[in-house]
A and B are shown apart, each in its own frame.
Chain A
Amino acid sequence: MDVSQYLEIFLDETKEHLQNLNTRILELEADPEGTDTINEIFRAAHSLKGMAGTMGYKRMQNLTHDMENVFSEVRNGTIKVKPEMIDVLFQCLDALEGYTENIQNSADEGTNDNEVLIKALNDIMKNKNGDSAVATDAADTSNKSSAAGAVSSSGDIAVKWDGISLDDSQVSVIKAAKTQGKNVYGINVLIQENCILKAARAFLVFKAVEELAEIIVSDPSAQDVEDEKFDRDFTLIVISDGSLEAVIKAAEGVSEIEKVVGAPIVLENNVHYKEMAVVETEEPKEEKQSSPKADVAAAGAAPAPAKNETKKQTLAKPVVNRTVRVDIEKLDSLMNLVSELIIAKNSLVSVSSQEQQVNTNTAFNEQIEYIEQVTTNLHESVMKVRMVPIESVVNKFPRMIRDLSKKLDKKMELYMSGEETELDRTVVDEIGDPLMHLLRNAADHGLESAEVRAQRGKPAVGSIFLDAYQDGNNVVIEVRDDGNGIDVEAVKKKAIERGSITAEQAVTMTDKEIINLLFLPSFSTAQKVTDVSGRGVGLDVVKSKIESLSGEVEVKSKLGEGSTWTIRLPLTLAIIQALMVVVGDEKYAISLGSIQTLENIPPQDVKLVQNREVINLRGTVIPLIRLGDVLDIENRKSKEEDLIVVIVKKGDKRAGLVIDELIGQQEIVIKTLGRYIKQCKFISGATILGDGEIALILDTNALI
């Protein structure tokens, strides 16, 4: 049976198990004796191993197998949990994540065996009570090897027969065959991706090859191949009187075979490249090697093809699409609403076909109202389907803080709340990096070193808080620390040094304005640059990312007591409530979220300050922006008429947009302007109105 259809489920569940393992191992570190935790870890590792095995990911299976062994010993109490062991285990999880990523991108786990990690695990098993210096040492190098492995992990099938472990009898058979003057070849057969009956094709290949040669080794074993327990390729070692070409041709003769590669086996010599011959049966696919010629050439320089392929593979589209897991109940309610919609449609049809004209109008209106109600509910339900808890993003942070704590040599603890808060899927995907950045900042710059904390009478362990909650139509995420807070004077000094502001400006600026300077590109106040943070790329990226999600970020800080970063995000991006306005003869939409009030202003109330039009609204001076001028439209209104002003806000700033006419509030679906229109100031998108016309959505943030 073809397992590729289970790939999505496999990836989903693997990620879940990995996350679970991460959390549990963290728990284990805190409480090395927790039996429940150990049991849970063991179960997760075991399921992971089983799944990887079923899907034919051998390397992943091996690694998890060895991990499971360690857990099993821990469970039996023969190994004590040690910090070094936890480190190795975390590295194993990273390696497993690497496999998963490879699989997601190419449906192949890659060729990184992570032998160093496996060795480290085995060492743990061996020195059950001894020192594990070896293990950490080994694990350290494993990082490098996994990095190197990632480069070469490309599913390079050419040398697979070198990786087959031969037992003594097989070796002697090969040797005997060679002395008899027979040829021994290694052959790798790659089956087409879309092939449905892989086992059958493989069987035919076996048969075809057996006519010419004797198969002595098969990897996976003949039985596994028959049961379709292999990915897309299998490797054979055969003894033949005939030429290599003949054997390859025979294998190629079977349909749905993408590629057959072969070379004579040289037992003593691992380097086969020189004699390798590649014959392709089909037009190569895009991500595969381009031509046989290139292959032979590339084979001469061993590392070259691997690099090439990796490059191509990273360009290729991931084989698995992004998915959202949906509660059955949500789907059911969707189904119900759709059926109601159909009923409503049918009623409309029947109303319009009724002959009496008298009743038609009221009946018609009734149905319209009904449809309106159904579509509103439908919208809500669909939105709910798109909502996912931010849990999936924030769950990786405890592990990150743990690693940071070790790296920075500061004691710290992360407290999270509101992980269940739901946000639109697209937002959740994007929010991870900015949050990570703020947390790193808090850990690196925010929290003081142990000595300083002791001096200030703070607890030795620094606290970082991550709180999420819903607030009306927004979701608020706060990152808080009890560290040093932002040193306004230091920021001011730095800003003057860098020429961002002048000394005179600095005097008049409020603390808040100064703190906001931090969001300028390349502004970092860290005294020393660490590899955790302090390179000055960051806060501006955080800000632009959040703003691209139509959110806001704010910071409050008190020197010596800590700082709070507040991110405010809209619940959803696709559909918003908007105010429709008319300027000249064009219609525009303004997001209701950014509107504060609507005002009628008599023309004589407009004053000039520094040659800019302002109004004094209940004590606040607000600059006026005449939309007609900004958007190159002629205003229709005469100068004597009252101005209709939409007061919009961006953070603490206000501005009054002068429009010609109000249409009203409406729910609009946001569409992009397409990639052809790359940059369009003032316009954040478009929406399609009821009559099929398009109205542009004003980006008020860009206007203020």
Chain B
Amino acid sequence: MELSTNTETGLAVKEDNSSIETAQYIVLRLGEEQYGINIQSIDNIVRMQTITRIPKMPDYLLGVINMRGEVIPVVSMRLKMGLDKGEITKQTRIIVLKLEQEGNVGFLVDEVKEVVTLTSNEIESLTYQSQEEKSGLISAVGKHNGELISLVDLNAVSLEGN
């Protein structure tokens, strides 16, 4: 689903003038869509590695990996966003986020593209009415070089840990 169509089909977009600061975002790809995660909350990005499955866990919780001696749970961002499971390719990466409450959590994404700097007027926060699950994770949309990047709300990510 293209993000631009989202705007037309029920997502209200509001101007946010509260601050004029810039922030850096890591841009990642899931299928055809682009998402951004604030670089401040990223601990590490690692290549795909063996994920040890944990029984009796929800689908999106793929298992745990070993990152330098630390056991870190890995979540499939595709399943979390309501996409299909997808395939593991050479570009597949695990982005390790440091969440305040839950410690480090890895997110499996299709590709990590670049780092962009967004000023606050390039970011439009959403007041969504959509019932779709995935919209709950998106706090705002960033505009960069004519493309739209959905910015992931980390509070939402951490809140809905199982």
Which chain A residues lie closer than 8 Å to B104 at the CB level?
674
Among B56, B66, B73, point to the contact of A688 (Cβ < 8 A): B66
In contact, B161 and A694 (Cβ under 8 angstroms): no
Which chain B residues lie closer than 8 Å to A688 at the CB level?
66, 69, 71
Give the residue name and chain of the B residue nearest to A683 (CB): B54
Instruction: Please measure, in the bound complex, the distance between the C-alpha atom of A633 and the C-alpha atom of B72, giving whole angstroms.
Output: 22
| Interface status of B146 (Cβ within 8 A of chain A) | no
A684-701 at interface with B (beta carbon < 8 Å): 686, 688, 692-696
Which chain B residues lie closer than 8 Å to A674 at the CB level?
64, 71-73, 102-105
In contact, B52 and A695 (Cβ under 8 angstroms): yes
CB < 8 Å A-B pair total: 72
Give the residue name and chain of the B residue nearest to A632 (CB): B55
Give the residue name and chain of the B residue nearest to A688 (CB): B66
Give the residue name and chain of the A residue nearest to B101 (CB): A675
Q: Per DSSP, are chain A's interface residues mostly helix, strand or loop, or mixed?
A: loop
B29-84 at interface with A (beta carbon < 8 Å): 50, 52-57, 61, 64-66, 69-73, 75
Q: For residue A168, give the distance in angstroms from its CB to the closest CB of chain B.
A: 57
Q: For residue B102, give the distance in angstroms from its CB to the closest CB of chain A.
A: 4
Q: How large is the interface on B (under 10, 10 to 19, 20 to 34, 35 or more residues)?
A: 20 to 34
Instruction: Please measure, in the bound complex, the distance between the C-alpha atom of A431 and the C-alpha atom of B106, giving whole angstroms.
Output: 35
Which chain A residues lie closer than 8 Å to B99 at the CB level?
676
Instruction: Please measure, in the bound complex, the distance between the C-alpha atom of A632 and the C-alpha atom of B161, giving whole angstroms.
Output: 22
Which chain B residues lie closer than 8 Å to A679 at the CB level?
162
Which chain B residues lie closer than 8 Å to A680 at the CB level?
54, 56-57
Among B52, B56, B65, B105, point to the contact of A676 (Cβ < 8 A): B105
| Interface status of A671 (Cβ within 8 A of chain B) | yes
Number of residues in A with C-beta < 8 Å to the partner?
A: 25
Which chain A residues lie closer than 8 Å to B57 at the CB level?
677, 680
**Chain A 655-676 interface 0/1 with B at a Cβ cutoff of 8 Å (1 = within):** 0000000000000000111111
Given contacts A675-B101, A682-B56, contact A693 B161 (CB under 8 A): no
Instruction: Please measure, in the bound complex, the distance between the C-alpha atom of A696 and the C-alpha atom of B55, giving whole angstroms.
Output: 10
Q: For residue B44, give the distance in angstroms from its CB to the closest CB of chain A.
A: 14
In contact, A586 and B53 (Cβ under 8 angstroms): yes
| Interface status of A678 (Cβ within 8 A of chain B) | yes
In contact, B64 and A686 (Cβ under 8 angstroms): yes
Q: For residue A312, give the distance in angstroms from its CB to the closest CB of chain B.
A: 18
| Interface status of A528 (Cβ within 8 A of chain B) | no
In contact, B70 and A671 (Cβ under 8 angstroms): yes
Q: For residue B79, give the distance in angstroms from its CB to the closest CB of chain A.
A: 15
Which chain A residues lie closer than 8 Å to B53 at the CB level?
586
In contact, B71 and A676 (Cβ under 8 angstroms): no
Which chain A residues lie closer than 8 Å to B73 at the CB level?
673-674, 676-677
Q: Using a CB–CB distance below 8 Å, which chain A residues touch chain B?
A: 586, 630-633, 671-683, 686, 688, 692-696
Can you name 11 A-B residue pairings with CB atoms under 8 Å? A671-B70, A673-B71, A674-B64, A674-B71, A675-B101, A676-B73, A676-B103, A677-B54, A677-B61, A678-B161, A693-B66
Q: Using a CB–CB distance below 8 Å, which chain B residues touch chain A?
A: 50, 52-57, 61, 64-66, 69-73, 75, 99, 101-105, 161-162
Nearest 8 CB-CB pairings of A with B? A676-B102, A694-B52, A631-B55, A671-B71, A675-B102, A686-B71, A676-B73, A676-B105
